[in-house]
Structure 1
Amino acid sequence: MDGFEVLEKIKSTPKTANISVIMISALDDIQNVIKGIEMGADDFLPKPFNPILLNARLKAAVRKRRLVNIETNYYKDFDKDTDFAKLELFSGTLDNEMSNNLDTTFVVVYIRFSLFNFISQTLGPDLAREYIQHQGVRVAKTCKDPEITIGRLADDVIAISGTAKNLAYLVENIETLDKLYSPLNQTITLEKETFKGNLGIGISMTKGREKKPKSLIANAAFASQTALDNDIGIAFYDPELHQSNLNKFHLEPKLKEAIRNRELCLYYQPIVNTITSEIETFEALIRWIQPDGSFITPFKFIPLAEETGLIFDIDSFVIDETCNQISKWITKYGPDKEFSVGVNISAKHWVNPSLIKEVDSALRKYNIPSKYLKLEMTESAMVDDANAVKKIVSILKSMGIKIALDDFGTGYSSLGYLIEFPVDILKVDKVFVDDLHTENKRQKLMSHILSIANSLGMKSIVEGVEHVQQVEILKQFSCDQIQGYYFYKPMPPVEIEKIFN
């Protein structure tokens, strides 16, 4: 075989692949030199060769190979851009220290620079690399203690680990932590572009005896994300918040499946005439009954649905199912039976024109008059995008849908909203009802609220009524309707039909 074949064999065999190779050949044209170098030769000498020159080239090739090996081994453990420890070395060092110091408290400070990915995607990876190098220098200046380990755990993450004693100046309180946050939050100018902020610092601590370095790092990462999400810069790990997020993480796929399998259902709470106590209307309330018969409270899954966008699917289901139930009751009791059903609509849904189509579609699907349906909104819906909500409310009212303002008094409580928005019904929240029968101030406030509703031509519903004394007071204040456990709890349709006649 010729020299090129020999070179190929050497470089393709694991045991010999790292041997330095100098090719000596009479073929000294540039194409052959390039070919040899590209195939892995360290150098190329033409025949006849000078032994002294060959010896020098040989030594240089070996030295170069050693340096390459040293560099290769070094960057297995250390990041090329910052020279900080990579995740495996960072975690391993922390693991070793924790194992040898069981009663010592260890700390991980996790810094996520969310600007890194933005810079990389918009201005290119080279500029993002320069940005993280600048921030790395700032971190190194703050953490000069040789007992402290600094690591680059991800493209946009630099972390610090050490004992609580060594990091006391960083983690004793928020004021001392500012020694780290303030320098990192200062502007950086790269190619005439200025960058500032968008970083989250998370801190977690535990005893060495826990021997869980990866959990310590993960907890600090969670706290860092909390700091970013809440725009607070710095956050200490909160196990309760973490557990809550884990619960949501596990609950979300179950909720998706429940919506898909129609495990959600509606209960209806009767609302009565204040004077006669006769049922006049209902509120549809979502319930999640699992296959084993257990309930998952709306206080758990509705906030999750709001966060994940599943609330749109839930709202659509409630609108459709409510109209279905209304249709059944019209068939059962006849068209002369007077009643209506209120449906709570998410604040996010009130700014979406699809709400109009969904309501219109459900009314047509079940062939029911619009007078039977009420839609309820909270004050927060008005704040998100007042103009968009106004347009949607106006269109719904033109269709004959009644609009109720739910939980009045618990949100922004601006009386201006009552004037600006064409609301038909004012629902007074339970907070104004609690202790109504024992506190004179609450009675005066309730009287004024109901007077405002009456003067603006709105029907009033007071929620959360649980005592006969509260009922008597509301009668005196000319409240129109009452909703609460004193009269009825939310019930499935079959139970409603036992009392609704």
Structure 2
Amino acid sequence: MSVKILIVDDYEDNRYTLKRRLKRDGYKECDEAENGQIALEMMSKKQYDLILLDLMMPIMDGFEVLEHMKLKDEFRHLPVIMISAADDLEKIAQGIALGAEDYLPKPFNPIILKARVKSALEKRSRSLDQINALTFKDASTGLFNEAYLLQDSFKNELETKLDSKELGLVEIFFEKYSVLTSSLGKASADLYLKTQLERIQAEFADLGELYVISPGRFVFLACEYESLDALVNRLQDLINHTKIGVEINSVSVIEELKVGVSIEKSFDKGLSAALHHVNVARLQANQFMPLSFYDDAMASSVVDKLKLEADLRKAILNDELILHYQPQVHAKTGKVCAAEALVRWVHPEKGMISPFHFIPIAEESGMIVELGKSVIRKATHQIELWQNSYEGEWCFPISVNVSAQHVAQPELVGYIASLLEKHNLKTSMLKVELTESALVEDETGTRNVLNAMQETGLKISLDDFGTGFSSLSYLLELPLDQLKIDKMFVDNLVHDERSRSVFKHVVNLAHDLKLEVVVEGVEDEEQLNLINQSNVDFIQGYYFYKPLPADDFFDVIEGQ
């Protein structure tokens, strides 16, 4: 790329002499301006690398030009060499104070001219390199960043390189980076990321250069791949490679990489559109499908999900969620003795939305704790209303589900205690249900919270038993009061003798450990008969009752 120099002097002979000598030194692209005003107009239309500026000129002198340049950010790193008589020291000092780089004395000495031009251009080059490093490189990884990718010059270079070929844009996301940042600190997380990136750059250089978009999020521009199948196979290898444990603070971290791919045929809408496509694809990747490809329908799905997330946030904030209560019956008498509170969302436009749809959104977006608080708050308030309306002593405890994120927070115990006190309720009127996943995510923190709950008298139920791992160890070690056997077991009882055998052993073990047993998902009489052969305590399912609004549940209690 040629160097562009602007010579500003009111004497044509001076401009001619400087231009001729500069061309001899290899600087072929030299423009001229006869005063400061013309120079500023030319500088606004063309990007120069160096200005040779006479200080004393009519219309607008060199000092005024320097004053104007100080006000413009685009001229901040543009070097200026003043042209002045050798004895005008006071003017030279004034020019330097206004931002000039150096000065060139009259008459012009070709050796001095060459040396000072070279020095100014080298200094500008170093300065621009530093700026580019700050602007276009990530400090933690040393990789070029998104700002670098979005330059017009990079897009043009990429289009030339592709020459009508397709580009495989690949986004990878390290799930464990944010987990390590919050648990072990940024330094440990950065070390983990550095190790993973070094492995990838050593083993998967064929995928192309790696660029950083945000912490833990990177993209490849895969230009050279034989076929789509070959690219997919290589990315599968990448996913498996990142699963090799990385030792951080004596902890072996196993990555769960998520990968999105977008095949781009052109960049008519800019590279930012392509980066959006591949990000949408990566957001659709999950534990069971870690590699996802972009299509237009996917983008629409993501937009719908974002809208639903915003509506859910509003619903939680405005206390618009409602609770239904699914009765639990005593296995021997068939009478209702308790219930589970189940959150429901009636969307103003979409109607009833399944919790299987909005609960994962709440978990992913960080709203699950606030949602959990809302459920506990509504449930305790409702129990108080029932208690005040019931003739006799209200003795029908309500179970509330607590998420993995919520149960790990020490303040949960105090929050529940304050609501029980506010509504004048015994601790026996509320049960806390948690799943095995809550125990896996933060076992130590969860144990501490559960022990604190037990000290206050709260009853704890382990929900969805049999769908996770290490269930038996939890039964032995945790302060549990109740075990809820998952519907999965119930569905298999009728047709699978081994399931019936396991079911009986689980019930007997729970009873030996002084745990109550609740069976979920009972839907027909044949299932009920088999369950009753195992001497369970309570049953919950559509065979008896579906989840009921609060008033209907109260009517059931009064009618029995």
Q: TM-score range by the shorter chain?
A: 0.7 to 0.9
Q: Distance in 1 between matches of 2:236 and 2:355?
A: 41
Q: Displacement of 1:314 after TM fit?
A: 1.7
Distance 1:70 1:224, change over 3 A: farther
Matched, 1:299 2:356: yes
Q: Distance in 2 between matches of 1:434 and 1:199?
A: 32
Counterpart residue identity of residue 315, structure 1: G
Q: Distance in 2 between matches of 1:407 and 1:202?
A: 30
Counterpart residue identity of residue 218, structure 1: H
What are the equivalent positions in structure 2 for 1:478-497 lying under 5 Å apart? 478-497=535-554
What are the equivalent positions in structure 2 for 1:86-125 lying under 5 Å apart? 86-88=149-151, 89-94=153-158, 101=164, 104-109=165-170
Alpha-carbon displacement from aligned partner over 1:358-382 (angstroms, at most 9, x marks no partner): 2211111111222222111222333
RMSD over aligned CA atoms reads 5.0
Distance 1:499 1:293, change over 3 A: farther
Q: Displacement of 1:268 after TM fit?
A: 0.3
2:272 is matched with 214
SS at match of 1:361: helix
Matched, 1:44 2:90: no
SS at match of 1:173: helix
2:47 is matched with none
Q: Distance in 2 between matches of 1:74 and 1:385?
A: 46
Contact residue 55 and residue 84 of structure 2 kept, 8 A: no
Q: Displacement of 1:152 after TM fit?
A: 6.0
Q: Distance in 2 between matches of 1:283 and 1:298?
A: 14
Structure 2: segments with no counterpart, 5+ residues: 1-53, 70-74, 247-253
Q: Distance in 1 between matches of 2:411 and 2:494?
A: 43
Q: TM-score, normalised by structure 1?
A: 0.73
2:412 is matched with 355
What are the equivalent positions in structure 2 for 1:424-439 lying under 5 Å apart? 424-439=481-496
Counterpart residue identity of residue 44, structure 1: Y
Contact residue 150 and residue 160 of structure 1 kept, 8 A: yes
Q: Displacement of 1:287 after TM fit?
A: 0.8
Q: Displacement of 1:345 after TM fit?
A: 1.3
Among 167, 171, 181, the alignment partner of 2:231 is 171
SS at match of 2:263: strand
Aligned length: 460
What are the equivalent positions in structure 2 for 1:215-230 lying under 5 Å apart? 215-221=273-279
Q: Displacement of 1:110 after TM fit?
A: 5.2
Among 325, 335, 340, the alignment partner of 1:268 is 325
Counterpart residue identity of residue 286, structure 1: V
Q: Distance in 2 between matches of 1:357 and 1:74?
A: 56
Contact residue 90 and residue 151 of structure 1 kept, 8 A: no
Among 292, 312, 317, the alignment partner of 2:369 is 312
- Bigger drift between 413-422 and 3-12 goes to 3-12
Counterpart residue identity of residue 500, structure 1: I
Q: Displacement of 1:464 after TM fit?
A: 0.3
Counterpart residue identity of residue 26, structure 1: D
**Structure 1 vs Structure 2: percent identity of aligned residues?**
29
Contact residue 111 and residue 199 of structure 1 kept, 8 A: no
Q: Distance in 2 between matches of 1:112 and 1:484?
A: 41
Q: Displacement of 1:11 after TM fit?
A: 3.6
Contact residue 450 and residue 479 of structure 1 kept, 8 A: yes
SS at match of 2:403: coil
Q: TM-score, normalised by structure 2?
A: 0.66
Q: Displacement of 1:295 after TM fit?
A: 1.8
Alpha-carbon displacement from aligned partner over 1:33-54 (angstroms, at most 9, x marks no partner): 44333435565356xx5x4x44
Distance 1:292 1:272, change over 3 A: same
Counterpart residue identity of residue 10, structure 1: V
SS at match of 1:263: coil
Among 54, 58, 64, the alignment partner of 1:9 is 64
Counterpart residue identity of residue 368, structure 1: L
Contact residue 263 and residue 290 of structure 1 kept, 8 A: no
Q: Distance in 1 between matches of 2:227 and 2:157?
A: 16
Q: Distance in 2 between matches of 1:370 and 1:359?
A: 9
Q: Displacement of 1:492 after TM fit?
A: 0.9
2:426 is matched with 369
Q: Displacement of 1:258 after TM fit?
A: 0.8
Among 395, 400, 406, the alignment partner of 1:338 is 395
What are the equivalent positions in structure 2 for 1:25-424 lying under 5 Å apart? 25-28=86-89, 33-39=92-98, 41=100, 43-44=102-103, 51=107, 53-57=108-112, 86-88=149-151, 89-94=153-158, 101=164, 104-109=165-170, 142=205, 161=221, 163=223, 165=225, 171=231, 173-174=233-234, 204-206=261-263, 208=265, 213-221=271-279, 237=293, 247-292=304-349, 294-424=351-481
Distance 1:202 1:475, change over 3 A: closer
SS at match of 2:261: strand
Structure 1: segments with no counterpart, 5+ residues: 123-127, 187-196
Q: Distance in 2 between matches of 1:295 and 1:71?
A: 62
Counterpart residue identity of residue 339, structure 1: F
1:192 is matched with none
Alpha-carbon displacement from aligned partner over 1:291-343 (angstroms, at most 9, x marks no partner): 24712221222223233332222222211211111111122222334321111
1:190 is matched with none
